[in-house]
Amino acid sequence: MSEKRRDNRNRVLRFGESQRPDGRYQFKYQDNDGKVKFVYSWRLDKNDRTPAGKKRELSLREKEKQVEHDLFDHIIANGGNLTVLELVEKYISLKTGVRHNTEANYKFVTNIIAKEDFGKKRIDRVHLSDAKAWLIKLQKDGRGYSSIHTVRGVVRPAFQMAVDDDLIRKNPFNFELASVIVNDSVTREAITRKQEREFLRFIQEDKHFCKYYDGIYILFNTGLRISEFCGLTVKDIDFKEMRINVDHQLQRKRNMEYVIEDTKTSSGKRFVPMTQEVAECFRRILANRRKPKVEPMVDGYTGFLFLDKNEMPMVALHWEKYFQHILEKYNSIYKVQMPKITPHVCRHTFCSKMAKSGMNPKTLQYIMGHADISVTLNTYSHVGFEDAREELNRVADG
């Protein structure tokens, strides 16, 4: 009968366990693929002391238990040797048919991870505290909340894929982002009715910017997304039914390629009713629309309402710049400064106006093209005391 192996403290070692000449313990095993693997520790048992000058870690037998659990659950050893960057790249490679702005977000995220030491970390060595510490570092390095939100929005499902593929046991990014970093993003608030009137009056009376008045008035009074507005064609304006057909949006990629895409959500396909004032704006736009030498066509769509100097359809960036220049001129003239106004602020302002006027939330959801009623209902959070008092008096009088 062979004598049992013992360590330098005369303790009996189990099958697969051994102690090296330098005192370090070793456990030898085979993974689910039959490959020989080793785990090491300076301590055999959890009650052992860590030798002086050595980093404290789990004892060998604690690591053995982890190995047993992983083998039983068929967890692939070492996370398949994938780094964080490799995992994210693998996750993105499986996403097909994504929109160009989503594709741009993926590239943005991978560029950030590629520059970080965290991106070189093996995925099975990323713990909850590591994930949180990395996001905190990104904010300390100057990354905004929205950028970090975008990063986490890609990394978290990538790690969940690793969990589902049995590469790791837990997803270290399963936590509320707001509980870790400060939300320093600026909320795009709706402007007041008085501010809207002043802004539109200024545009209408300005010799240079007056040509944008009708378009900006429409944005303030329809709630259209700017990409939906840019995608409108002559055929989409129905004066007989007094409605706007919204079933697509116009985008321009970074390589300057124009594309037509579906609306943001399936609920985005809708008919938006027109007031008489909005209809008059469209009539003027159509009357003043200059005839290009060749009508631009994008994915089969033609007859776009607004064309740039190159006789190509205007896109969101054009209108964002117009708003910026108008605002700069306004604030350079008047002491009472106008807050930041963008095409999206117009949409938010319209939604708030309708909410404050007492429009049924489901009706407002339809007009806005919101897929989730909670998005629409969040608009009602801007209702203040005066709005509440007016509504109460209106109900009481009724």
Residue of 24, 243, 289, 344 marked catalytic: 344
The phi and psi torsions of 297 (rounded to 5 degrees) equal: -125, 130
Instruction: Answer yes or no: 169 catalytic.
Output: no
Active site residue 264: yes
CA pair distance 251, 231, nearest whole angstrom: 8
* 290 part of the active site: no
Pairwise CA distance, residues 372 & 362, whole Å: 10
Question: Is 347 a catalytic site residue?
Answer: yes
* Selected catalytic residue, list 143, 264, 318, 382: 264
Q: Catalytic residue at 74?
A: no
Asked if 153 contacts 345 with a C-beta cutoff of 8 angstroms, the reply is no
Residue 152's nearest CA partner among 176, 186, 124, 120 is 176
Q: What is the CA radius of gyration of the chain?
A: 31
Query: Measured on CA atoms in the order 166, 168, 173, 175, is the torsion positive or negative?
Result: positive
**74-98 as b/e: b if 16+ CB within 10 A:** ebbbebbebbbbbbbbebbeeeeee
Provide the strand spans (E) within the chain: 17-19, 25-30, 36-41, 237-238, 243-246, 249-252, 258-261, 270-273, 297-298, 301-302
Q: How far apart are CA 110 and CA 64, in angstroms?
A: 35
318 is catalytic: no
- How far the first Cα of the chain sits from its last, in Å, is 99
User: Ramachandran region of residue 10, left (φ > 0), alpha (ψ -120 to 50) or beta?
Assistant: left
Which one-letter DSSP state was computed for residue 75?
A: P
3-state secondary structure of 301: strand
Catalytic-labelled residue, pool 152, 248, 252, 370:
370
Joined tokens for residue 251: 């985008």
Catalytic pick from 152, 225, 248, 348?
Answer: 225
- Catalytic residue of the set 347, 348, 353, 356: 347
Which pair of structure tokens corresponds to residue 267?
Answer: 């609920």
- CB under 8 Å, gap of 24 or more: what pairs does 63-67 form? 63/27, 63/39, 64/16, 64/17, 64/27, 64/39, 67/27, 67/29, 67/37, 67/39
Q: CB–CB of 190/196 below 8 Å? A: no
- One of 132, 137, 380, 382 is an active-site residue; which one? 380
Catalytic residues: 225, 264, 344, 347, 370, 380
